[in-house]
Structure formats: C-alpha cells, structure tokens
C-alpha cells in the first residue's frame, strides 16, 4: 500500500482577530508580552521570525515546532531546528495568555491570521525535507517558497 501525507495549507482558516469573541484581549496580551521580551533581549527578534518560518514551512503554521518528543523525532529535533532560539519566549507568552484566557494561545506581535488549532503531530524528517538548507542561495530559497505557494514577499 501507499501512504500519502499531505502538507496542509492553513491560510483559509486563519484570520486576524480570531479570538475576539473568546478572549478579546488575546492579541493585546501577545503584543505586550512580546514587546517586553524583545525589550529584555532584542537579539530574539530574528530568532522568533526564524521559528515562525520553520513552523509554517512544515505542515503549515500550527505551532508544531513547539512540541517535544521523548524519542528525539519532533520537528524541534531536526538538524535545521537544533540551533533554534526562542522556545522560552513563546512558552512565556503562552503562560501569560493562559493565565488571562485559559485554553487560548497563539501568534507573535504583528498581525497574524489565527484560528488553526495547534498541531499534535511533529516529525523531524518533515523539517529535514521541507526547510531550505542553511547554505541555500536566493534562487533555492525562492524555489522552496514557491513549492509552498509563497512568494519572495512572503
């Protein structure tokens, strides 16, 4: 038999203001906490953007990069993600949000469409295959983006 695994696109499911009805302060809390984090350590900004890119390129923007595995097979265990910084910042934001609005957590400080539920599957091999190697040139990176229906602007 053949097993087909789709890499789902979530753009239709995401929207700015997704939590307006269930936690109207959610985006403001995320913004304020991210502002505080970046004030404490401005060097985290590019790391968090990198994390966002790595998460979205593997199975869509579902937060699966945050998941841990006991066997070292999660996305965060993949070679391109081993040097990733920012997990603690995201956990801090999630903890603050959970305190104010239980069962709610998502997104960085800029307008990001929300609504897709957190992933519960994480596979290092997907990250190894879906992310552009660190030595990629711009043509290679554009190709990786194109495969995900993204443009150079994205």
Quick check: is 54 catalytic? yes
Please tell me whether 72 is known to bind a ligand: no
Please tell me whether 62 is known to bind a ligand: yes
Please tell me whether 1 is known to bind a ligand: no
How far apart are alpha carbons 44 and 23 in whole angstroms?
27
* From 35, 39, 52, 54, the catalytic residue: 54
If one counts every other C-beta atom within 10 angstroms of the C-beta of residue 71, the result is 7
Enumerate residues 6+ apart whose C-beta is below 8 A from 117.
Answer: 62
Residues belonging to the chain = 154
Please tell me whether 75 is known to bind a ligand: yes
Please tell me whether 64 is known to bind a ligand: yes
Annotated binding site for Ca(2+): 55, 58, 60, 62, 64, 75
Q: Which residues have a catalytic role annotated?
A: 54
Annotated binding-site residues read 55, 58, 60, 62, 64, 75
């Amino acid at each position: 038999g053949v097993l087909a695994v789709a890499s789902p696109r979530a753009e239709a499911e995401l929207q700015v203001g997704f939590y307006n009805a269930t936690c109207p302060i959610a985006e403001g809390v995320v913004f304020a906490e991210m502002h505080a984090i970046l004030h404490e350590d401005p060097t985290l900004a590019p790391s968090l953007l990198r994390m966002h890119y790595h998460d979205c390129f593997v199975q869509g923007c579902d937060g699966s990069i945050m998941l841990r595995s006991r066997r070292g097979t999660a996305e965060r265990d993949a070679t391109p993600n081993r040097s990733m910084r920012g997990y603690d910042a995201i956990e801090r934001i999630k903890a603050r949000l959970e305190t104010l609005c239980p069962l709610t957590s998502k997104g960085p400080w800029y307008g990001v469409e929300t609504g897709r539920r957190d992933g519960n599957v994480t596979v290092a091999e997907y990250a190894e295959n879906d992310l552009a190697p660190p030595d990629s040139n711009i043509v290679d990176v554009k190709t990786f983006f194109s495969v995900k229906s993204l443009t150079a602007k994205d």
